[in-house]
Amino acid sequence: MKKKAKYNVAVVGVGAVGIEMLRVLRQRNFPLGELRVFARTAREIEIDAEKYSVKEISAGGFEGIDIALFAGTEGEKGASLQWAPIAVKKGAVVIDNGADFRMDPRVPLVVPEVNAKDVKRHKGIIANPNCSTIQMAVALWPIYKKAGIKRIILTTLQASSGAGRQAVEQLKEETSRIASGGFENVQVSLKTKAMPQQLAYNVFPHIGSFAECDYTNEEWKLVKETHKIMHDDKIKISATTVRVPVRTGHSESVYIETKEPIAPQKARDLLKKAPGVIVIDDPKNNLYPMPKDVEGKDETFVGRIRRDPFVKNGLWLWVVADNLRKGAATNAVQIAECVISSLK
């Protein structure tokens, strides 16, 4: 692909992330030539009063496409396994939001604020990291560069939208049933239950499937993806991922132990200057990031930056981002922008 004024783009999938991809392309004034939208079945959709014609995905549909954004399906084998190699053969650069290619050593895993240069190593496919990994990497990278990081311990509080549209509907319906008929009414099974447990008025530490050491695969993603993005597999990372009754916006309680001392104020100053980061850190006045305030925004928000009084070089951070935007769609479009910037 050569540098030009406009680029033909395909968006594959029109679930929650695919819809956000279409929205972000428009809002960021991406240099779009032709836009094609693909899914398993053809239909018409409307996003923010703008209509899109969705075509049934086919090999011929990728003819003339420069960049293919695959919306991806977390926890399952996504459409990219079948269609990404075909798109690459047709000449497209594939940016995949699913998990299928993330740990492939031939495929760059990119958070543009951290490792944008890795896009130059692509062989046709670039992977978009997991939503929780993205926001943590954005928040920790400026501190990592300044003081190094030996250890990360985190708990994620992940919104229902991270599990897709059906999980959001489950939260909505459960909340409505409880409000109208009490807690016993919520036990009525939904037609399509997305969550393994009741989500309304509840939290549960189970995202993904259980794997090695009784960690879930969602927890292992935070470990392995962070190592790959930061090019440092010596960081000790331990995570617990929790589903919470929030519509959109993942929150993370992140504890780090740095190699070199760094004062909380120095960390704040670094983060205030960092691309893609907004610091809201005035807890005495009840000011700190919350998911209700970051929905629809592209930045990663950081607050509650404080020293561990018992461990040398220990630091706490509270990190919040819109999981459908920076955690998925926006990061993918930013990768596409990096690809364009790298062209000659």
Q: Are residues 110 and 20 in the same domain?
A: yes
- Tell me if 71 sits within 8 A of 18, measured CB to CB: yes
- 47 in any annotated domain: yes
Burial of 236 (0-12, 13-18, 19+ CB in 10 A): exposed
Digit-coded pLDDT (tens) for 165-188: 889 999 998 998 888 877 776 665
Q: How confident is the model at residue 74 (pLDDT cuts 50, 70, 90)?
A: very low
Which residues, at least 6 apart from 4, have a Cβ–Cβ distance to it below 8 Å? Answer: none
**CATH code, 41:** 3.40.50.720
**pLDDT for residue 12 is more than 60:** yes
- 116 in any annotated domain: yes
- Tell me if 256 sits within 8 A of 152, measured CB to CB: yes
For β-strands 250-258 and 149-158, DSSP reports them as: antiparallel
Helix or strand run (H / E) with residue 145: helix 131-147
Total structural domains within the chain: 2
- Which has the closest alpha carbon to 271: 144, 118, 174? 144
Rg of the chain taking only CA atoms, in angstroms: 20
- 2 in any annotated domain: no
Q: Are residues 315 and 194 in the same domain?
A: yes
Mean pLDDT estimate for the chain: 94
- 104 in any annotated domain: yes
- 157 in any annotated domain: yes
Quote the pLDDT of residue 308: 98
Q: Are residues 140 and 288 in the same domain?
A: yes
Quote the pLDDT of residue 237: 98
- 1 in any annotated domain: no
Q: Are residues 85 and 146 in the same domain?
A: no
**pLDDT for residue 26 is more than 70:** yes
Helix or strand run (H / E) with residue 93: strand 93-96
Quote the pLDDT of residue 73: 59
Burial of 77 (0-12, 13-18, 19+ CB in 10 A): exposed
Q: Is 206 a catalytic residue?
A: no
Q: Are residues 93 and 144 in the same domain?
A: no
Q: How confident is the model at residue 75 (pLDDT cuts 50, 70, 90)?
A: very low
Digit-coded pLDDT (tens) for 181-210: 777 766 655 555 788 899 999 999 999 999
The separation between CA 225 and the C-alpha centre of its own chain, rounded to angstroms, equals 12
Q: Is 122 a catalytic residue?
A: no
Q: Are residues 143 and 204 in the same domain?
A: yes
Kindly name the residue from 122, 131, 213, 231 that is annotated as catalytic: 131
**CATH code, 230:** 3.30.360.10
- Tell me if 158 sits within 8 A of 242, measured CB to CB: yes
Question: Scanning the structure block, which residue is given the tokens 């809201």?
Answer: 280
- 112 in any annotated domain: yes
Domain with 228, as residue range(s), is: 133-323
Q: Are residues 182 and 288 in the same domain?
A: yes
Q: Are residues 17 and 49 in the same domain?
A: yes
Q: Are residues 109 and 146 in the same domain?
A: no
Q: Are residues 117 and 179 in the same domain?
A: no
Digit-coded pLDDT (tens) for 79-131: 899 999 999 999 999 999 999 999 999 999 999 999 999 999 999 999 999 99
Q: Are residues 78 and 93 in the same domain?
A: yes
* Token reading at 1: 């692909």
Digit-coded pLDDT (tens) for 139-149: 999 999 999 99
Q: Are residues 314 and 166 in the same domain?
A: yes
Q: Is the pTM of this model over 0.85?
A: yes
- 165 in any annotated domain: yes
Q: How confident is the model at residue 24 (pLDDT cuts 50, 70, 90)?
A: very high
